[in-house]
């Protein structure tokens, strides 16, 4: 990998860093042995800034650009964020209703499939008829609906392909443009 800038990050499809490169895995390095790289990275990615500093950690992360685009949240160099899993709360859902409705006519079927709850049919010749094919004409008690869900976190990751990010430990010191 030739003519790279010091601190340049590249993506590689193999499981080792090439000579002169290191994985972007957040490892802590001594400033005394990496002064030029420290002058570029500082403590944006960690370290104490007096004896050590950290390489960027792109394990299980997506890189985004610093700055602020139109209508976007400002992003600062070295900032991290996001979550691999989330628990959706009812306060985060759009307002909606789960209405429970019925047909106010006399029931004509024993099958709920394709039918609505209705006024039960009377008489010994029509046992268990509780459903009708008519229109929803009346609202039922809301306590007829049971709560659902368990409140467990769910995966929040976009589709991905795993590759390795490496950073140049040697190279041309990048001139400011």
Per-residue model confidence as pLDDT tens digits over 77-91: 999 998 888 998 888
Return the pLDDT at 167.
99
pLDDT in tens, 21-74: 999 999 999 999 999 999 999 999 999 999 999 999 999 889 989 999 898 899
Nearest Cα to 9, choosing from 166, 169, 114, 173? Answer: 166
pTM: 0.69
Out of 3.30.450, 1.10.10, 3.90.1340, 1.10.1760, select the CATH number for domain 1-63+161-171.
3.90.1340
Q: Are 155 and 85 in contact (CB under 8 A)?
A: yes
User: Which residue has better confidence, 44 or 126?
Assistant: 44
Residue of 119, 85, 90, 126 lying closest to 103 (CA atoms): 119
Position 1 pLDDT exceeds 60 = no
Pairing relationship of beta strands 116-117 and 131-132 according to DSSP bridges: antiparallel
C-alpha to C-alpha distance for 163 and 12, rounded to whole angstroms: 6
Model confidence band, residue 126 (pLDDT cutoffs 50, 70, 90): low
């Amino acid at each position: 990998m030739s003519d790279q800038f010091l601190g340049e990050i590249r993506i590689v499809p193999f499981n080792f860093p090439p000579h002169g490169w290191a994985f972007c895995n957040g490892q802590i390095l001594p400033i005394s042995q990496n002064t030029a790289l420290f002058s570029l990275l500082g403590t944006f990615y960690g370290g104490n800034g007096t004896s050590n500093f950290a390489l960027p950690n792109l394990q299980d992360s997506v890189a985004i650009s610093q700055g602020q685009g139109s209508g976007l949240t400002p992003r600062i160099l070295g900032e991290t964020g996001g979550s691999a899993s989330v628990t959706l709360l009812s306060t985060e859902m759009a307002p909606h209703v789960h209405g429970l409705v019925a047909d106010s006519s006399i029931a004509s079927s024993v099958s709920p499939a394709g039918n609505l709850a209705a006024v039960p049919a009377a008489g010994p010749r029509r046992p268990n008829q509780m459903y009708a094919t008519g229109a929803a004409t009346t609202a039922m008690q809301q306590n007829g609906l049971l709560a659902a869900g368990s409140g467990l976190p769910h995966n929040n990751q976009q589709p991905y392909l795993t590759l390795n990010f490496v950073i140049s430990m040697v190279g041309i010191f990048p001139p400011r443009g």
